Structure 1
Amino acid sequence: MTTHSKSGITKPRQPLSLLTQTVSTLPSSHIKALEDPNWHGAMNAEYDAQIKKRTWSLVPHPKSVNIVRSMWLFRHKHDEDGNLTSYKACLVANGKCQDVGFDYDDTFSLVFKPAMIRMVLYFALSHN
């Protein structure tokens, strides 16, 4: 703690924003996003990328299969100076509608932490 805070001397913070450009707000739904040309373009780019990568394909709905629904996530991308560079829309699977043991058996999330990578590299170097 500093001497000022021990003595109870505080200075109110006055946030200052130098943002001068208009930024579309994050849409609350995909319906609202389609009304804004910036977000509409971002959604089209994401959809085209998914089709190009062949991430999924459209098939008829089998009656005995639970459908995993998808949802759109929206965010602004900024450069290191804080300037808006692009609008990013991501189409992701919404796993809340899945049942354990019926739709999937186990989950796997591969996580590499920097400390683990350093340890493996140290071990490899120490044993040639």
Structure 2
Amino acid sequence: MITRACDGIVKTLTKMNLSASHTLISSIPRNYYNTLADPNWRATMADEFQALVNNGTWRLVPRSPGANVMTGKWIYKHKFHSDDTLPRHKARWVARGYSQQYDINCNDTFNSVVKPSTIRVVLSITASSACPIRQLDMKNAFLHGHLEEIIYC
């Protein structure tokens, strides 16, 4: 089989260097201890923690014997506007659900999300009715759900 490489035909690759730089923002921290040094991240974590407390997301209880305790970690992210301005830092505390065992401390996994087809239907109805469309960001929307099970974190 004769190929281009055998005949010495080499096609040059032109690569584009596309990069965005955000010079005036703090970097995303790698761990909890690096976060404490930055006042922006520290304030964001305090807001997230206060939202967890205000919504009654958890109670401090003694560990029951034999309970599977899920660990958690902080996730950090920058939230940008479309013009690349930084409106806020975002910090979330998430439970590491992969430590659960099926039929021992969980029976079902479910993530409530909107299907793309539902979004298309709503947008087509509003466009055909000439209704105005607005977008909102609900902070801590996942905290408004209720669990029937007891989960130790």
Q: TM-score scaled by structure 1?
A: 0.73
Distance (whole Å) between structure 2 residues aligned to residue 18 and residue 100 of structure 1: 44
Q: Which structure 2 segments of 5+ residues have no match?
A: 1-10, 126-153
The structure that is helix-richer by fraction is 1
The answer to whether residue 97 in structure 2 is matched with residue 95 in structure 1 is: yes
CA distances 1:36-64 after superposition (whole Å, capped 9, x unpaired): 11111111110001101111111111122
Distance (whole Å) between structure 2 residues aligned to residue 94 and residue 16 of structure 1: 32
CA distances 1:72-95 after superposition (whole Å, capped 9, x unpaired): 110011122101111110011111
Q: In structure 1, what is the equivalent of residue 42 of structure 2?
A: 40
The structure that is strand-richer by fraction is 1
Deviation at 1:108, TM superposition (A): 2.1
Q: Which structure 1 segments of 5+ residues have no match?
A: 1-7, 123-128
Give aligned pairs, total.
113
Q: Percent identity?
A: 31
Return closer, same or farther for 1:115/1:27 CA change in 2, 3 Å cut-off. Answer: same
Distance (whole Å) between structure 1 residues aligned to residue 100 and residue 78 of structure 2: 30
Deviation at 1:110, TM superposition (A): 3.5
3-state SS in 1 of match to 2:87: strand
Greater relative contact order structure (CA < 8 Å, 6+ sep): 2
Q: CA RMSD in A?
A: 2.7
Q: TM-score scaled by structure 2?
A: 0.62
